[in-house]
Amino acid sequence: MDEIKQKDLICIAIILGAFGVAGEVKLKSFTETPENCMSYGPLYDENGQCILTPNSHRIMANHIAVQAPEVKDREAAQALKGTKLYVPRQIFPEPDDEDDFYYSDLIGLEVKTTSGQRMGKIIAIHEFGAGDMLEIQPNPKNGKTPQSLFHPFTKVAVPKIDLTARRVIIEIIDAENGRNPDIT
């Protein structure tokens, strides 16, 4: 499996740079248990090209040091800095519960407010240190597409996710005046 389609990939890690002088790469894992990212086999870039086939790894304080035959030396490892690493979606089990899902399953879902207003579609989910954010592409107005807006991705701010209906319901919170202000 040399190439995989982009829509069939899930991001599980990012290369932080070189580790040591022997060509190891330093990874930041996005999996719940960091070392689990080493159990999925070959790791791909966003275009579906195999980037790393880990043959050994070490768990460090804030990262994972990985050796792979594709990376021959420190310069090659450093050149990969910032590369996101993906695995095929089909290797993951289907979610068991209606509240379980993969972030990639939310991309493209319609967004409505709790009052029924159509807001647009989810185009990305960003994982920031203070919390995850949905990036929403608003619906076009007067033939122009407004800039993306960001919305917190918490149970209170996103009370309903319906994968079957391909819809997410968000709660708009106005810090000064309370919940659900009129949006124009």
In a domain, 118, yes or no: yes
Final residue belonging to a domain, choices 91, 114, 147: 91
* Structure tokens that stand for 33 in this block: 């248990």
In a domain, 27, yes or no: yes
In a domain, 96, yes or no: no
Mean pLDDT of 62-66: 93
pLDDT tens column, 70-119: 999 999 999 999 999 999 988 888 877 777 788 888 999 999 999 999 99
Q: Are 114 and 79 within one domain?
A: no
Q: Are 80 and 151 within one domain?
A: no
The range of the structural domain enclosing residue 110 comes to 103-179
Best CA proximity match to 55, nearest among 25, 17, 10: 25
CA distance 49 to 181: 46
